[in-house]
Structures are given as C-alpha cells and as structure tokens.
Amino acid sequence: MNYIELSHSLAYQQKAPIGFLWSVKTWVNLLGTNEMVLRLFPLLCGIAAIFLFIPVAKYFLRPMAAVAAVAILALAPPLVFHSVEIKQYSTELFATILILYIYIRYQQRLTWGSLLTWGLLGAVILWFSYSSIFILAGIATGMSCRNLYQRNWKLFFRQLVPFLLWAAGFALNYLLFTHKHAESKWAAEWFGFYHYFMPLPPANMEELRWYPAALYHLIAYPLGLTWKLYTGNSILLKALLNTPWLPLIGLFYGIWLYIKEKRYALILLFPFLFVFLASGLKLYPLNERFWVFICPLLILFIVKGTDQLASFFNSDKVSLLFFVLLIAPPVYNSAQSLVYPDEFIIHKRSFQKQALTYVNSHFKPGDLVYVYWNDLPGYRFYKHTYPYNFTALEGGDYRKISTSYPDYLNHLQKDFKSFEGRKRIWVIYNHLILTDIGDEIDQPAWYYLKNVNPTDRLMSYLAPLGKQENVYTSFDVKVTLITLK
C-alpha cells in the first residue's frame, strides 16, 4: 500500500495511527520489505522510551527510585515484546513518556513561543498515538482544575493555548483519518464477549470480580512484575507466594502519596479517569496490550509507594532490598526468556515462518503444499519475503456459503482436486486461531462444535487419503504430511 492507501482502511480490520503507518512505510521504502525493517520503528520507539524515561523518572522520584522505575520499563518482558512487533503499542508507550517530558519542560513557561511549541508538539503526538489523547486530556484537565481552584486566571487562559491546539490536532486527525474506523461493531462485540471493557457500573458479582482480576493481570502483563514461586496445588501458598504483594501495595500507596502531595495528583490521575470512562462506555478495551501506553504512570505510582515504604526503616540497605525485590520478577522473567527464547511471550507469537521454513527444507518435486484458510495471512506475507521452493495452494474459506459440515466438505472438493497425482501433501493450518477477523463469534455453529477443533475434524476427513504424520507442531501452527496411497 502507498501512503494514500494507508490513510484508508487496512486489511484484516487492523487499525493504527496514520503517523505510525507512514513512519513504518518510510523505513520500508528506504530499506526494503522484511521483518526487521517492519519492526524497526517500534524498536526505535521502545529504545527511545527507556532513555527519555530517565529524566521523567528523576523528576517525579528520588534517585534510587528512579533507577528502579527505569529498570522495570527496560526489563518487563511484555514491554520488550511490544517493542519488537509490528504494532503501534511501543510508539504509544513512547508517546506517553514524551508527553510527560514536554510537560516537565514547558509547564512553567508562559511565553507565547513556549506555549505554542508545547501545543504543537502535543498535536503532532496525537497523529502517532491514539491513546495519547487520554494523557493529554488528563494533563489539560488537571492543570485547568488546579488553576481554577487557585483562581489563577492569567495562567488558566494562557495555558488554554496548548490545550486548544491539542484539541484541534485531535479533531483534525479524527476528521481526516480516525473517523473511518473509530467505530467498529465487530471489535466492540468481540471485546465485549471476552470482557475487555470495564463494567460501569458492575451489575453483578461476576462483573464486580472483573476489577481485582484486571488489576492482577495488569501487574503481570504488561508490567511483568509477577512470578511463580510456588507451583503446587495449595491455594493458600499460591495466594501468599505468587500474589505480587509489593507492587500492589506500592501502587495504591503511591497513588495515595501523590494525592496527599497534591502537586502532581491531578495530571497523573485524570488520564486514568478518562481511560476508565472510555472503557465503561465500550470505547476502549482494557487488557494486556491496551494497558501498555499508561505503564509509565503505573510505574511511577508503584515505585513511589515502594520507596516510601522502604523509607520507614530508615536504612539504605533496606531501601535497596525493597527495590531489588520489586525488580526481581522482570529481571528473572527476562533471564528466562534468554534461556528459553521460544517461550518468550508465547501466547502473543506465531510460528508461521518456522513452519514454512521446515516445509521448504523438506519439500520434494511432486509435492503439494496446501495452506488452510486460517493460516493464509502469514503465508501471503512470507511468500513475498523468502524465496521458497514451492508455491502453495491457498485453501478457500467456504464456511459462509455452506449450510452444514457435509456441505462445507463438498465445497472443499474444489481444493482437494489438486491433490490428484501428487505423492505427498503438506497441510499447513493454525490449530489455535480458528476464526477470521470480522467473524461472528463461534459462527456458523455447525463448524464450531463444543470441544471439537475444526482443524482436527478436517484432518480426520483427510485420513483415508493416506498416512498422516504431524511433522511440525508449534504453539499455533501445525504441519501434517500426508503420503498418498
């Protein structure tokens, strides 16, 4: 896609800020199409976030606490992962830190030049990060409320200059680009089905349990502050040893400390208010990657609270111990990822390339490679990236034009006719992702039988053709070799 095409809807119902898309496209134009180039801009944002977070952490925290904060940001495996995937989440993380940095730089400057610069920087950031609107709106609201409370009218009206520029930047971006995919009925239904939206207000006990569950998962992902010290069956020991008590206590205590100190409370807390409100209105899901952008604020709270807890003991050694305990989980989890790289954030990864590489290295003349419909997006990318020895037969998705499973198999005969005259068939399919983006959940019902994997059902149907051998199995992709009779 060219730059103009990228400003319209993307394939597979994907959505990303136009600034992010154009930046990635520029690197592709300069360096070519491959995985490393595609991941370069997110990687640069992830690295820049670490360095820029140093002055931000030093501004809001004491020196030793600032070191711990930067360590969490740099070592949390989920944050590392999102800095090496072709998605906008590390850019949004960097955007939040950049907003905090320019807040530090410009909050006390009242010259018209400084106010305009502050406003323009914020307006530009909005073109690279959807979620930055929460941070900017939170800062603008917090500072305006403080000025109104103090009746500092001069400061209130002067600071409206950057705030109105932010609003104008958001409005312009929305009218030109974002409105085209701002409301996705399918996305709202999908996120709602999997309870990604915050219940507001909770209607029953199940919805009430969403809050502690979301909090625990937030500490684990994306902050990476949990580990499993106990793997036995005792519920009590699991609660005592595996619950991230220090980060949880530090989080709430840190929030209380900022509220008590008043100076930064509003600008740090209002973004959460807007995020929760948006989620309650089913406009912004809250789970895993959607928390990434606000991690810098969460880290500030957690480290601030931990630092104050440690200060009660009036000992530098105890303070050091508290921070060591706090960063131990991300250090340990990062070390585990180095030792076992295939396990690194495995539930977010695909092993499509490895599967195709395996087939390519064992492919023989006369073989046929058949890619089932649910694994086509990856194949379509990699076939243009690597010089494979084969061109696969792309399976058709006949679910929506079929009325039953036998009818579906009849349509599949169009694909299976190509098997005739072959000695071996390589069937590549995804045994984990069983739907397509935009599908109704578990529809059609005849395809998604309870406790029955549709791909297993397919391979059972193909069993009479010849000997089947599962030659490659990964977290998501399987390769079955059929030697025809």
When pLDDT is averaged across residues 81-91 and rounded to a whole number, the result is: 95
Instruction: Identify the three-state secondary structure at position 141.
Output: helix
Amino acid identity for residue 363 in this structure:
F
Residues 6+ apart with CB under 8 A from 476: 349, 350, 351, 352, 430, 431, 432, 433
DSSP-H helix ranges across 222-315: 235-242, 245-261, 265-280, 295-311
- Return the sign of the alpha-carbon dihedral for residues 175, 173, 21, 86: negative
Tell me the C-alpha distance between 86 and 82, whole Å. 8
- pLDDT single digits (tens) 368-412: 999 999 999 999 999 988 889 999 999 999 999 999 999 999 999
Nearest-angstrom CA–CA distance, 281 and 71? 35
Alpha-carbon gap, residue 93 to 88, rounded angstroms: 9
3-state DSSP call for residue 480? strand
pLDDT digits 0-9 by tens, 239-274: 787 889 999 999 999 999 999 998 899 999 999 999
**pLDDT for the residue numbered 189:** 85
pLDDT in tens, 443-458: 999 999 988 999 999 9
Q: Which amino acid makes up residue 276?
A: F
Widest Cα–Cα separation across the chain? 87
Cα 138 → chain centroid = 22
pTM of the model: 0.94
The one-letter code for the residue type at 283 is L
| Average pLDDT across the chain, whole number | 93
Q: What is the pLDDT of residues 292-346, one digit of tens each?
A: 999 999 999 999 999 999 999 988 888 999 999 999 999 999 999 999 998 899 9
